[in-house]
Structure 1
Amino acid sequence: MNAERFDWRGVVSRALFCLFIVFAIYNPSGTSFVHWVLSGFDWFWVKLATGAALAVICMVMWRTTIGVLGARGVLLVVAFCIGMGMTGLHLTGSRLLAGDTLLIGALASLAGVFTAGLCYSHLHHRLGGISHTEDLNK
């Protein structure tokens, strides 16, 4: 075991970051990057720079997630998110196709996949003392 004390601050901060990025790109409230871009051609260069920054962040998060979890791990996290979402809907008595429930669930699942990808190495290192490295000679 690792001698350092484990705390959840790293996991929570990564989860909040992933939720922020996913819902900043698109959300059904009408205040997202997609809505901003579709509103017109004003501020073109700012929109382009913001889009490029969001694209780079998403590519880094996706590459990290696939590199750490692999395709099977991503499917496992998606299945977990679907299970948790359906359980939450059942316990609250909500309907899956009511309003934007399905869309919000899909976006939250995507954020969950990114969170799992960004947190797996952190958790594995803190709880098991195992460090993950990337082979740069591929």
Structure 2
Amino acid sequence: MSAARFNWQGVVARGLFSLFVVFAVYNPSGYSYLHWVLGGLDWFWAKLATGALLAIMLLMLWRTTRGVLKPRGMALVTLFCIGTGFTLAGITGTPILNPGSLLIGALLTLAALFTAGLSYSHVDHRLGGISHTEEVAK
């Protein structure tokens, strides 16, 4: 890897990608893949192709996150998101224990988890000089 200075643009790009994938699959606005599929059988092949693409992206995000963060890291990111959510709700006076807030919180936590999984190796390498590799058995 190069010795370029670390910048947050890569983390932001990965975060936006994670948010896009998570909220494209489902969001409470009514404009998501799940809503589109449940809307009827028209455009069947387009729905199938889109679903396959979203499944591939979700599996890639999940596999990468699980491989980089491991279960303990995933639990720490999840606890951090829960703590941040309750803190922000307490500061702003927003009720957090209603179904809509819990759903948005869960979706944002999943996107944050994927962002952390995609970004951890890069941040760790740029800030600490530690490289992460994966051994592949031949």
TM-score when scaled to structure 1?
Answer: 0.95
1:132 equivalent to 2:135? Answer: no
Aligned residue pairs, count: 137
Q: Which residue of 2 aligns with 1:81?
A: 81
In structure 2, the partner of 1:69 is 69
Name the CA distance, whole Å, in 1 between partners of 2:107 and 2:34. Answer: 14
- Residue-by-residue CA offset, 1:66-109 (whole Å, 9 max, x unaligned): 00000111011000000000011001101013461110000000
Give the Cα–Cα distance (whole angstroms) in 2 for the partners of residues 129 and 51 of structure 1. Answer: 38
> Partner of 1:5 in structure 2?
5
Query: Relative contact order (C-alpha < 8 Å, sep 6+): which is higher?
Result: 1
Structure 2 distance, partners of 1:63, 1:54, is 14
In structure 1, C-alpha distance between the alignment counterparts of 2:96 and 2:8, rounded to whole Å = 31
Letter aligned with residue 70 of structure 2: G
Q: What CA RMSD, in Å, does the superposition of the two structures yield over aligned residues?
A: 1.3
Match of 1:95 in 2: 95
Counterparts of 2:108 and 2:55, CA distance in 1: 18
Q: Any runs of at least 4 consecutive aligned residues in structure 1 with deviations exceeding 4 A, and if so which? A: none
Q: Aligned equivalents of 1:95 and 1:78: distance in 2?
A: 20
The letter of the residue matching 1:116 is A
* Range moving further from structure 2, 55-64 or 89-98: 89-98
Gaps of 5+ in 2: none
Q: Any gaps of 5 or more consecutive residues in structure 1?
A: none
SS in 1 for 2:94: coil
Letter in 1 for 2:4: E
Quote the residue 2:46 is aligned against. 46
